[in-house]
Chain A
């Protein structure tokens, strides 16, 4: 079975500061990993995905994530936070016997302070 753990249900940063959202996964097979963002009362928007190519993945809105197999991690970063980045972020894993089904983490609420 696959699982995802997002460390920190709430993260608060100042505008212009580094954003770091943590995600650790568990998978018995090489995983496919995704980061999604959800704004209030909306669906999820794909930020980026890892599919066994480059370990450093660049996504939309200046976000990137690095796949580290030795640490079973896929942390999301952005060098400089904007007010518009305030949202809920979900890390998800798929692959193996789960097929195309996504297993989501519990989410991290990002607050950006002026």
Chain B
């Protein structure tokens, strides 16, 4: 149980392109979803938290107009990197959490490797 699917797993595109990444909870309802960015050999950096039907809460320093997050249903959240540039190249990982209890763990997708040329 608790499977999170992230798609695509790998994207290469030209500078200036917008890229959409999907995160789906396959067998549970995700009341909260999280988006992380991970640089090589580093830990995960939280970008934003989204609750179903609400606007995402962005971490300090993360441009909300650059990284658009939509959490329209209890099983799907999307991250759109708008007008992507080479510095946006990174490994993006989503996670989903079901229920309201604070001890519920986050379940992670397999990540998306984004390369901007």
A window 38-97: CB within 8 A of B: 41-46, 49, 51-52, 90, 94-95
Dominant secondary structure at the A interface: loop
CB of B102 within 8 A of CB of A32, answer yes
Binary flags per residue of A92-105, CB closer than 8 Å to B gives 1, else 0: 00110001111011
Residues of B within 8 A of A (CB): 4, 6, 32, 34, 42-44, 46, 49, 91, 93, 95, 97, 102-111, 113
Dominant secondary structure at the B interface: strand
> Which of under 10, 10 to 19, 20 to 34, or 35 or more describes the interface residues of A?
20 to 34
CB of A100 within 8 A of CB of B97, answer yes
Closest to B104 in A: A100
CB of A44 within 8 A of CB of B108, answer yes
- CA separation between A34 and B111, bound complex, in Å? 19
- CA separation between A86 and B4, bound complex, in Å? 23
Q: Smallest distance from the beta carbon of A74 to chain B beta carbons, Å?
A: 14
Taking the complex as formed, is A15 at the interface, i.e. its CB lies under 8 A from any CB of chain B? no
Q: From known contacts A100-B97, A101-B46, A101-B49, infer whether A43 and B109 are also in contact, taking CB-CB under 8 Å.
A: yes
Closest to A53 in B: B103
CB of A43 within 8 A of CB of B105, answer no
CB of A90 within 8 A of CB of B104, answer no
